[in-house]
Structure 1
Amino acid sequence: MRRCVALAACTSAMGYSFESHVGCSYSHIYPEQYVAYKTSELFPGSLDGDLTKKVWEDVVWTKDFVDISTHTQPRLRTRAKMRWDDRFLYIGAELQEPQPWATLTAHDSVIFQDNDFEVFVDANATTHFYKEFEMNAFNTTWELCLNKPYGDGGYENSTRVYGSKGWTMEPPLRCAANVQPLGALNNPKLPGERWTVEIALPLASLAERTGARAPPRPGDFWRASFSRVQWAVKVNPETGGYEKSPSCQSCPEPGTAHEDNWVWSPQYAIQMHQPETWGILQFEDSTEVGATYYREWPSRSAAMAIYYAQHAYAAKHEGAFTTQLHDLLQFSSEPFPVCADADTIISAAGEGKSAMFEATVRSPASPEVAATVRSDRYLTVAK
């Protein structure tokens, strides 16, 4: 069941909005959710990008991807599926593409400079030590670990940055890209239809430094999302080949010299490094089990509302945080408006760049769950 409690938004006499008791479910931004079913029919060494295998046909697609921050429908369809076994999370994706194009061939290149497909996984849903994987139609890859989001001072740990000492999933990570029809890649004389991918991400690597169990158990939830970076291309009359010609379609300013960003679950900003808005990945053994409501969602969201309001407050108060919930109501904003009815405890310390806060929040929509968020976005729950 996706949306169990109705939203009720309130506006105070001062004009700012906050979440009422009923609305503290944050059901209006409940992420996309996918149930990944266990399988014994996929193996990393056999991946070829062919999604017509029965193991893939037996499970449903995600909803079609949407623009990362607007309500404009992307011009090209993108969708994905997931399976898992005791060692790997398997991902299959289909990207409609009339002009298949890729240039990067070196591992750990910055793949989003090409048209790409990206995977993000936060195994313990803390927003810290999440993993990112990118690939292009050449099957060139880049994988990295973020200790925390860039906006909170995080940094990339990868072999691109640290060489052999950097974090990597290879081996045993495996993936394959299949451009259809054969011969269409970088060939304007042969219109493309799509490119499909198969990916095997090692569960142990995805869970590394998170405390999440790997393999997960049936009924476990992780946070995950997908992104497709799409650059417009044109035919160069001199070379006869494709070349990048940025002109976005579904972005906030269509036609400007930017890429499009199409995602599985909305981010509400042109920013993938917001793990709190990623989709919900539910692991199950039997295909008879459907999606289960993520009970942590209301309290997690109420905690993130404090996080955003605190940083907005600090921007107006010389970097200082507050311990008073009522101070934050005027800094409440979408997509995470402050829940005025939540049981909230806030502590703060330090000044300037050393200022910190910690808030523990119980939403009235999930009072059995206490979510604690720090000023660096580190988010945990207790039940």
Structure 2
Amino acid sequence: MTVRARMTLLYGGLFTVITLGVLGTALWIQTRIVNDRVQDVPFPADPIASGAVRGPADGRKRIIGPEQFQESLIGSQQLVILTAFAVIVVLAFAVSWWLTGRLLRPLHRITGTARRLSLSTLHERIALDGPRDELRQLADTFDAMLDRLERAADSQRRFVANVSHELRTPLAVQRTAIEVGLADPSPERLAVVRDEMLRNTRRSERLIEGLLVLAQGERGLDRRDPVDLAAVVGQVVGENLASAERAGVGVTADTRPATVAGDEVLLARMVANLVQNAIRHNHRGGSVRVALREGELTVANTGPVVPPDEVDGLFEPFRRLAGERTGSDGGAGLGLSIVAAIVQAHGGTVTATAAPDGGLTVAVAFT
């Protein structure tokens, strides 16, 4: 039985019971009044009045109506009340059916939209109008869920397309290098081809490794252990001092004791990505400042000016400034997206702020 039918039976039955009680009470009262036709009236001056019978010694008389009139009146009242009851019951169920249909109409819209959903129709919305009641809240919640699903599907499509492009590029370069080397198999040419293939192989390895870390971060943590984040930061900064010196970038670290519950390997990768990005996207003579306080890690650098409207896009995979795709030597373009996934897996938040004179400040907060 449908919800509409159950609601109709419920409301119609309830109204029927109430109507039956009201009409039954009215019929009982009227029957009592008709049956009690004996009234006390003043004794007339003429003792020989039509139909009058001398009454008690108090000077009053009793007048009794005909029984046939009483029975006819009661029967007519019963017929009218029963007819009205039948009409009211029919109207009650009809109105209940109509009202429940109107009340459930938003649910039919929600059901219809849900049945039509697919990857190609995630743009559809219920967009329910009317008062902000429970059904409106349900429809708005459903629309908000569709917004999230549409963004996730779009992000997944872009991610797959970008991965396909990034994996295809080094393979195409390697094939070209091999063809060129085979066309001119001199030792010098073969050495160039070898170096080119090694460089593209390393790039593919970095890309695949980054994708694996990104997937692990998005999956979440199976267990959490206390991690000395200050020690992790110190180790990562020390490992990147040589590359910073080659790039002409100074690195300073101000750390205080801080412990985070999580995975030490992922946290080390998060710090390494932040520091390496800050060094890579910098200029000669620039600086990188790493600060660690209880529950918060901040990495700031100098460098090119970052448009404020492109800051959020830096956390998307394969994104750089101005929405460009990654190049061949600048990394796999997964640095900040891996950071965001690892932070989310640890229950934290990550934000980025662009400095007006150039550079970026990335703040990671752990709860």
Report the TM-score when normalising by structure 2. 0.22
Report the TM-score when normalising by structure 1. 0.21
Kindly indicate which of the two structures has a greater share of residues assigned to strand: 1
Whose radius of gyration is greater, 1 or 2? 2
Which structure has more relative contact order (CA 8 Å, sep 6+)? It is: 1
Kindly indicate which of the two structures has a greater share of residues assigned to helix: 2
